[in-house]
Amino acid sequence: PRSALEARLVSLWEQVLRRSPVGIHDNFFELGGHSLLATQLVSRVRSSLGVELPLRELFEAPTVAALAARIDSAARSQAPAILPVPRTEALPLSFAQQRLWFIDQLEPLSPAYNMPAFVRLQGPLDVNALQRALSELVRRHEALRTTFIQHEGQPLQRIAPEASLPLDTVDLGALLPTAAREALEQQLREESLKPFQLATGPLARAKLWKQGPNEHVLALTLHHIVSDGWSMGVLVREVAALYDAFSRGQPSPLPPLPLQYADYAVWQRQWLQG
């Protein structure tokens, strides 16, 4: 490598292709690269170098040396703004969602990509306000109303205009403390491992355990295809803000969302594929 950029690209190529060494004039596709690995490489370039690189660039410049020159040029360009898109038909998946969809086709009903969040609630609980908060969360976030279908061999995301997030409840109050704790731990494990069906949904679940008059545990479980670690934190904070408002008879304090994840997925496809 003749520069720090080329050295970093060589490292990324070796990680994605799982082979070493890689020369700066070696052709990515002649080394075993294909479209899915190309997508992975573009994603790693974006996260590692902070450069939005259209996928076509790799096909047009399939060597480290040529791609480094393209990246130098791309680093000086500006990505287009993300804009809302019509919801008149099913929409494409983001590259991350497509990867998870492919994995689900290979291993259907696997709980490997379940994302559970458990919250212990102390004090009096207004269950009706909590249910309203969950319903508003689903209305607010299209991803929680999304399922993933297949059309002519390609995955698409379908957003339902309405959906519910029922709050299943379990009362452990009649059990002795030790038995209640053991039952809770067992049922939390079962809840976190219960699989999702991407094509039919729902891809979000909520469940509440009552351990006493003023002690509850809330489980919010989503499939990774509609959430990640960062957004799970956002959702939990929004449920807390909505519950606080609804329990006091106030309207939602959260401003409308100008964009949804589907808008990002369309933008990513258009920008990175060119």
Q: Residue 188: which CATH number? A: 3.30.559.10
Helix, coil or strand: residue 1:
coil
Give the separation between CA 201 and CA 205, rounded to whole angstroms.
10
CATH number at residue 23: 1.10.1200.10
Q: Does 245 lie in the same domain as 147? A: yes
Structure confidence at residue 36 as a pLDDT band (50, 70, 90) = confident
Same domain, 12 and 109: no
Position 140 in a domain: yes
Asked if 142 and 260 touch (Cβ cutoff 8 Å), the reply is: yes
Does residue 138 lie in a domain region?
Answer: yes
Closest CA to 148 of 181, 196, 116, 184: 196
- pLDDT band at 43, cuts 50/70/90? confident
Residue 150 lies in a domain: yes
> Is the pLDDT score of 111 beyond 70?
yes
Among 13, 40, 74, the domain-final residue is: 74
Residues 130, 233 contacting (CB under 8 angstroms): no
- Residue 262 is assigned to a structural domain of this protein: no
Specify whether the CB–CB gap between 36 and 254 falls below 8 A: no
Task: Identify whether residues 68 and 165 lie together within a single domain.
Answer: no
Query: Residues 199, 101: one domain?
Result: yes
Answer yes or no: is 88 within a domain: no
In this structure, the answer to whether residues 14 and 145 fall within a common structural domain is no
Q: Are residues 65 and 25 in the same domain?
A: yes
Instruction: Kindly state whether residues 133 and 189 are assigned to the same domain.
Output: yes
- Indicate whether 109 and 214 sit together in one domain: yes
Mean local confidence (pLDDT), 64-82: 76
What is the reported pLDDT for 74?
62
Model pTM score: 0.71
Give the mean pLDDT of the chain.
Answer: 91
In one letter, which amino acid is 97? Answer: Q
pLDDT, mean of residues 204-210: 97
Asked whether residue 263 carries a pLDDT value surpassing 90, the answer given is yes
| Residue 76 in this model has a pLDDT that exceeds 60 | no
DSSP helix/strand/coil, 224? helix
Burial class (CB in 10 A: 0-12, 13-18, 19+), 179: exposed
pLDDT of residue 79: 65
Mean pLDDT of 30-56: 83
User: Looking at the structure, do residues 109 and 222 belong to the same domain, yes or no?
Assistant: yes
Summarize the confidence of residues 244-263 as an average pLDDT: 95
Q: Is the same domain home to 238 and 180?
A: yes
Residues 19-47 have a mean pLDDT of 87
Under 8 Å between Cβ of 93 and 35: no
pLDDT at 274 (0 to 100): 57
Percent of the chain with pLDDT over 70: 96
Contact assessment for residue 198 and residue 93, using Cβ atoms and an 8 Å cutoff: no
Number of domains in the chain: 2
The pLDDT value given to residue 273: 66
What would the mean pLDDT of 51-66 be, rounded to a whole number? Answer: 85
64 and 190 share one domain: no
173 located within any domain:
yes
Q: Which domain holds residue 243?
A: 95-255
d(CA 162, CA 149): 17
Residue burial 123-138, b: 16+ Cβ < 10 Å; e: rest: eebeeebbbbbbbbbb
Distance CA 252, CA 88 (A): 28
68-72, 197-201, 236-240: least confidently modelled range: 68-72
> Is 39 contained in some domain?
yes
pLDDT at 230: 81
> Out of 54-68, 153-167, 168-182, which region has the weakest mean confidence (pLDDT)?
54-68
pLDDT in tens, 1-28: 788 888 989 999 899 998 889 899 999 8
Query: pLDDT at position 44, please?
Result: 85
Poorest-confidence range of 50-59, 120-129, 132-141? 50-59
**Residue 104 shares a structural domain with residue 158:** yes
Of residues 48 and 99, more confidence is placed in: 99
